[in-house]
Structure 1
Amino acid sequence: MTVIDLLNRAKAQGVMIATAESCTGGMVAAALTDIPGSSDVVERGFVTYTNTAKQEMLGVHVDTLEAHGAVSEEVAQEMAEGALHNSQAQLAVSITGIAGPGGSEHKPEGRVCFGLAADGQPTRTETVEFGALGRENVRKAARDHALLMLLSSVS
């Protein structure tokens, strides 16, 4: 899989993509926009590193953050749905996680939650435990996983 394959498939289907990123800080949007012509597919990216940004830019509910924490499938779902709602895209991916260093017993380093929202489809969420690979490697792994999620939805 290459990012070019993803962009070509999305373009062929007339699908625009939005991203909502926390721990990756825009790495998915950067990977997409590194390719010339990506403006045919990439609608916008949201970098929502703080809970306030998640609330203001994506409409993540304070109750969801308080009940589940920022690193949760519930928040990932609301992030993806918020990116879809607050853009002209038909497909949105979200990422929220603990890149490290650190973490806790309940939310260890390397835990990343993803959301994938598409027009007319139920939002898909998943959690991947990448492990304590180090901050840079967790972020790269999360970026790559999000790109694969996007590719699977336009295949």
Structure 2
Amino acid sequence: MSLAIDVLNACKAKGLKVATAESCTGGMVAAALTDIAGSSAVIERGFVTYTNTAKTEMLGVREATIEAVGAVSEEVAREMALGALVNSDAEIAASITGIAGPGGSEFKPEGRVCFGIATRAGCDTETIEFGALGRAAVREAARDHALNLLLKAAHAH
């Protein structure tokens, strides 16, 4: 909770609006932020794009990108974050796409989550291997990691 408050305070201090584009977390980042009274000064909108179709229709993720590298990839995380930025009035957008579990594959293991943070200056992406912690723990870890990335982006803005 204090992490979400820190994000809101940092963004509010700089007059920044935030958008989220979430897949495996299903809106947990937006929920963590909007749980706090006064968050409307910062939160512009959130996209929950669980399916590939939703990613393409709502965020403009290219089908060719998904076909080439799969939905759980930094390339898709980048297109999700940039799509959230373009389709909102936000200055910062965070995206999350991953495999919360149970399950996964040799190539895309459970606990792999890709993140994107987009601003008007560009987009940074990264992949974190949280491991097979269980669905709830992976989703919570991904939420917290995205909040930390938003906090860093707000401070750097």
Secondary structure of 1:149's aligned partner: helix
- Per the alignment, residue 93 of structure 1 pairs with 94
Report the CA distance between 1:34 and its aligned residue. Answer: 0.4
| Structure 1 segment 69-108 matched on structure 2, within 5 A | 69-108=70-109
Aligned-pair CA distance for 1:9: 1.0
Aligned with 1:123: secondary structure?
strand
Match of 1:117 in 2: 118
Report the aligned-residue RMSD. Answer: 0.7
Equivalence for 2:69 = 68
Q: Distance in 1 between matches of 2:94 and 2:3?
A: 17
- Report the equivalent of 2:126: 126
1:70 is paired with a residue whose SS is coil
Alpha-carbon deviation of 1:3? 1.3
Mapped to 1, the partners of 2:32 and 2:140 lie a distance apart of 10
- Percent pairwise identity: 71
Q: Report the alpha carbon displacement of residue 134 of structure 1 after superposing the two structures with TM.
A: 0.1
Superposed CA deviations along residues 6-46 of structure 1, whole A, max 9, x for unmatched, are 10110111100000000000000000000000000000000
How far apart in 2 are the matches of 1:81 and 1:122?
Answer: 8
| SS state at 1:2 partner | helix
* Partners of 1:115 and 1:50 in 2: CA distance: 17
Gaps of 5+ in 2: none
- In structure 1, list runs of 5 or more residues that go unmatched: none
Distance in 1 between residues matched to 2:4 and 2:54, nearest whole Å = 27
- Aligned to 1:133, what secondary structure does the other structure show? coil
Partners of 1:47 and 1:98 lie apart in 2 by: 15
Q: What is the Cα deviation at residue 122 of structure 1? A: 2.0
- Tell me which residue corresponds to 1:154: 154
TM-score, normalised relative to structure 1: 0.98
Given residue 92 of structure 2, which amino acid in structure 1 is its aligned partner? L
Distance 1:74 1:44 in 2: 22
TM-score (norm 2): 0.97
Which consecutive aligned stretches of 4+ in structure 1 deviate over 4 angstroms post-superposition?
none
